[in-house]
Amino acid sequence: MKLAEKLWKALDERYDLAPLLAFAKEKAVPRHRHDWMYYFGGLTLFFFMIQVATGILLLLYYRPTAEAAFESVQFIMTRVPFGWLIRSIHSWSANLMIASAFVHMFTVYFAGAYVKPRELTWWTGAALLLLALGFGFSGYLLPWNELAFFATRVGTDMVSKVPLIGHWLLRVLRGGEDVTGATLTRFFGIHVAVLPMISTFLILLHLAFIQRQGMHEPEGEAKLPPRPFFPNFVLREFMVWLVGLAALAALAAFFPWELGTKADPFAPAPAGIKPEWYFLFMFETLKLLPAEVLGIEGEILGLAAFTVGGLFWFLAPLWDRKRARGEKNPFALIVGWGVVLYIASFTALSYLGVFK
């Protein structure tokens, strides 16, 4: 006890930490009927940290070339002690992170937390979700198995639909005309260097905004005395993380992520190629569109609609003036439930095999 006190004194003397401690003691989180939603941002962060930790461990053995990638993942899963666990956790945690990020986004949307003054928090959050999807897309190819290879071929092909620069973009993304070892190396670089760097920066910014402005309190909620951040909220958040960890452990142990068969660029594409679940609603929509609508290629129209829709969602803080004034906005609610219903139903129907 004495030693700890001595250490605190020495540090406080040098860095003037007492105000920080006072701030931490003062910091509180609003309490209301829906305050459970505050935990999902933290849960997403928790899964992100697991991704960083397990990703670094996988890096020790992974080799990003078309010749060695599949074998190195196979080696990790079969020969490296606990390699199977690390890889399985990395794959499952990626999915849970994206699921948790989606829940976080929708709770923020329905609570109307994106309005002034929190526009930048909403925008950095939206950018982080896009980055998470980028992580998923780039990471999916890395084991270089058949499914990943063909899904990436289909996925990157979408880029070529962009007017004027589409083909150029495709070449930049693939590192050539087709998905090859060059694509793998490129995706690897993006997955382990570019995306983590930008994400870390944006996460810090996102957290700094929240720290500066405090949690948003939804309108019309009966207010309770706020909950101290430390230790009450921190411990509760930690409990949520533990539940997340338990779910992750169960998934990783009982449904080990499969390796599949090595990609063969000359083999015909296997039947029923599907992207990861979080891209399914877009994938199925694009497939449903007719080849041509009013003289424009259906896929181009679909991608344009997704871009416009995404932009509209992104710009919610700008068009939703009512909620900024503290009024109800039924239009925003209708948009929100429409998006939830659309994504949920298309994803579910895709899994049920309705789209053939």
Partner 1 sequence: MKALVVLGVTLAASSGVAAPPSRVLGIPGKPASDQCTACHQALDEPRLQKPAVLATDDIHYRQGITCAGCHGGDPQAEDPEAAMDPKKGFMGKIPPQKVPEVCGSCHSDASFMLRYAPNIPTDQLAQYRTSKHGLALAKGDTKVATCASCHGAHGVLPASDARSPVYASRIVETCGRCHGDPSLMKPYGISGKEIEDYKQSVHYQALVVKNDLSAPTCNDCHGSHGATPPGISSVSNVCGTCHLTQREAFDSSPHKDAFAAMEQPACEACHSNHKILPPKDEWIGVGEGQVCGTCHSSGDRGAEAAQAIFASLNGTVQRLAAARERVERAERRGMLMDEALVKLEEAHQSLVLARNEVHTVDPQRVAAKTSEAGGAVAKAEKDAEAAEAELRFRHNGFKVSLLVILLTVVALGAKIREIERRS
The contact set with partner 1 (CB under 8 A) reads: 77-79, 84-85, 228, 231-232, 235-236, 238-239, 242-243, 245-246, 249-250, 253-254, 256, 258-259
Q: Indicate the SS3 state at residue 239.
A: helix
| Smaller CB separation from partner 1, 251 or 280 | 251
Angle, alpha carbons 342-326-330 (nearest 5°): 30
Residues 158 and 303 sit within 8 Å (Cβ to Cβ):
yes
Smallest gap from residue 260 Cβ to partner 1 (A)? 12
Q: Which of 323, 333, 315 is nearest to 217 (CA)?
A: 323
| Smaller CB separation from partner 1, 22 or 246 | 246
Smallest gap from residue 81 Cβ to partner 1 (A)? 11
| Smaller CB separation from partner 1, 18 or 243 | 243
| Smaller CB separation from partner 1, 208 or 246 | 246
Smallest gap from residue 76 Cβ to partner 1 (A)? 11
Q: Which helix (H) or strand (E) holds 205?
A: helix 195-213
**Residue at 135: amino acid letter:** F
| Smaller CB separation from partner 1, 162 or 234 | 234
Q: Indicate the SS3 state at residue 225.
A: strand
Residue 47's DSSP bridge partners are: none
Smallest gap from residue 228 Cβ to partner 1 (A)? 7
| Smaller CB separation from partner 1, 30 or 181 | 30
Smallest gap from residue 240 Cβ to partner 1 (A)? 9
Q: CA 86 to CA 112: how far, in whole Å? A: 38
Instruction: Report whether the peptide linkage leading into residue 231 is cis, meaning its omega lies within 30 degrees of zero.
Output: yes
Tokens of 233: 């909220």
Smallest gap from residue 57 Cβ to partner 1 (A)? 17
Residues 30 and 215 sit within 8 Å (Cβ to Cβ):
yes
Q: CA 148 to CA 135: how far, in whole Å? A: 14
Q: CA 236 to CA 46: how far, in whole Å? A: 13
- Radius of gyration from C-alpha coordinates of the chain: 23
| Smaller CB separation from partner 1, 85 or 340 | 85
Burial 8-22 (b: 16+ CB within 10 A, else e): eeeeeeeeeeeeeee
Q: Indicate the SS3 state at residue 6.
A: helix
Smallest gap from residue 84 Cβ to partner 1 (A)? 6
Q: CA 108 to CA 353: how far, in whole Å? A: 32
Alpha-carbon 195 to chain mean position = 11
Smallest gap from residue 36 Cβ to partner 1 (A)? 14
| Smaller CB separation from partner 1, 231 or 265 | 231
| Smaller CB separation from partner 1, 165 or 239 | 239
Smallest gap from residue 157 Cβ to partner 1 (A)? 32
Neighbours of 79 (CB within 10 A): 10
